[in-house]
Amino acid sequence: MSPRGPKPVPSAVGPCLVEGRGTLSGAVVQALRMGGAPPPCGSEAAEADPWGEDFQLALYLLYELHYRGFSGVDDAREWDPDLLRLRQAMEARFLHALRGELREAPQTVEAAFAPLLVEPVDLSGSLSHHLQTEGELWQLREYAALRSLYHLKEADPHAWVIPRLTGRAKAAMVAIEYDEFGAGRADRIHARLFADLMADLDLDATYGRYLDCAPASLLATVNLMSLFGLHRALRGALVGHFACVEVTSSPGSRRLAKAMRRCEAGAAAEHFYTEHVEADAVHEQVVRREVIGGLLVEEPALEADIAFGCAATVLLEDRLADHIRGAWAHGHSALRRPLEDSAAQ
């Protein structure tokens, strides 16, 4: 070993890098491929469209260095100061945009979660309802390809909050995560179950395979988890996000299980969602009473942050649903590149 430390070794296990979609993501891709620093992009990050393709892809690429990295990219780039400075500028822009959109959002846990605890009478705008009642197999395949960007690392972003909790909140969070990670069985890890779902739908379950197909509205939903998870200061928001997902998961999963059954997608495809119907109905109670309840006993000042995390999750999920439904209503793919084109890459 040299006095300067070990020689950088490019990773051989992560997903492949994709092409950039503009100035910011292009700079990140170039820096990762060439091993150098990105050009100064702080001013571009501060002025970029925080909902745009270029911005959300660049942020996703920077966050992915904290998960599995990228094939051919040195693992040490995770803590590269130049990349971290760019990420910091982009996070400030993203958070500012989120808070701007949510100026009128509830500030208490009760107000934030109350609308989520009652099934809406009118489900006409619900994406899962559409898939259950009239969705076609090609739409289920697109939906799964998009969601794979999170579900193939399901529960990983939320695990970052565990060392930042204490007492009841920590014990309950670990119990829920234990279930998410298969309760000690590799074949029952939820990410594994989703890979089985993808196999039933004739999709490639390689981690990160459909990144280049994913629009900004999908990337933003995953980036939100990473943003909250990587910052101790946002631990309340991450708990709010996690609770929102658990509260809304069971009814949506029930509809998606019916959609998979109606379209004869396969046993594994249906099982992924039936598993979530049962598990998340229990998790909802635990996360509300013990994770949120325990956290508020320990740190009552975090209530507004929990509410913000919930509201931000609803905002971005609604944006994604609007994008998908809008594309399908016009007979278009909701992906940046249809699956048949992606398969030819």
pLDDT digits (tens, 9 = 90+) for 104-154: 999 999 999 999 988 764 566 789 999 999 999 999 999 999 999 999 999
Residue 6: is its pLDDT beyond 80? no
| Alpha-carbon dihedral angle through residues 52, 53, 56, 62, given to the nearest 10 degrees | -140
Predicted confidence band at 4 (pLDDT cuts at 50, 70, 90)? very low
The interaxial angle of helices 53-64 and 216-229, nearest 10 deg, is: 40
| Structural domain spans, the chain | 23-101, 109-343
Mean pLDDT of the chain: 92
pLDDT digits (tens, 9 = 90+) for 223-281: 999 999 999 999 999 999 999 999 988 889 999 999 999 999 999 999 999 988 877 67
Q: Tell me how far CA of residue 82 lies from CA of 40, 78, 194, in angstroms.
A: 9, 10, 35
Residue 36: is its pLDDT beyond 90? no
Q: What gap in Å lies between CA 323 and CA 307, rounded to an integer?
A: 25
Residue 13: is its pLDDT beyond 80? no
Predicted confidence band at 43 (pLDDT cuts at 50, 70, 90)? confident
Query: Bigger pLDDT: 295 or 277?
Result: 295
Residue 68: is its pLDDT beyond 60? yes
pLDDT digits (tens, 9 = 90+) for 166-223: 999 999 999 999 999 999 999 999 999 999 999 999 999 999 999 999 999 999 999 9
Give the torsion sign (CA, 137, 139, 142, 148). negative
Predicted confidence band at 3 (pLDDT cuts at 50, 70, 90)? very low
Domain 109-343, CATH number (from 1.20.910.10, 3.40.718.10, 3.30.420.10, 1.10.10.410): 1.20.910.10
Q: What gap in Å lies between CA 227 and CA 210, rounded to an integer?
A: 21
pLDDT at res. 326 = 95
Q: Retrieve residue 264's tokens.
A: 């004869």
Q: What gap in Å lies between CA 122 and CA 132, rounded to an integer?
A: 14
pLDDT at res. 1 = 34
Residues sharing a CB contact under 8 Å with residue 300, sequence separation 6 or more, in sequence order? none
| 3-state secondary structure labels for all residues of 317-344 | HHHHHHHHHHHHHCCCCCCCCCHHHHHC
pLDDT at res. 223 = 98
pLDDT at res. 9 = 54
pLDDT at res. 78 = 96
Share of the chain above pLDDT 70, in %: 93
Q: CA nearest 172: which of 301, 278, 303, 284?
A: 284
Predicted confidence band at 318 (pLDDT cuts at 50, 70, 90)? very high
Contact 233, 308 (CB under 8 A): no
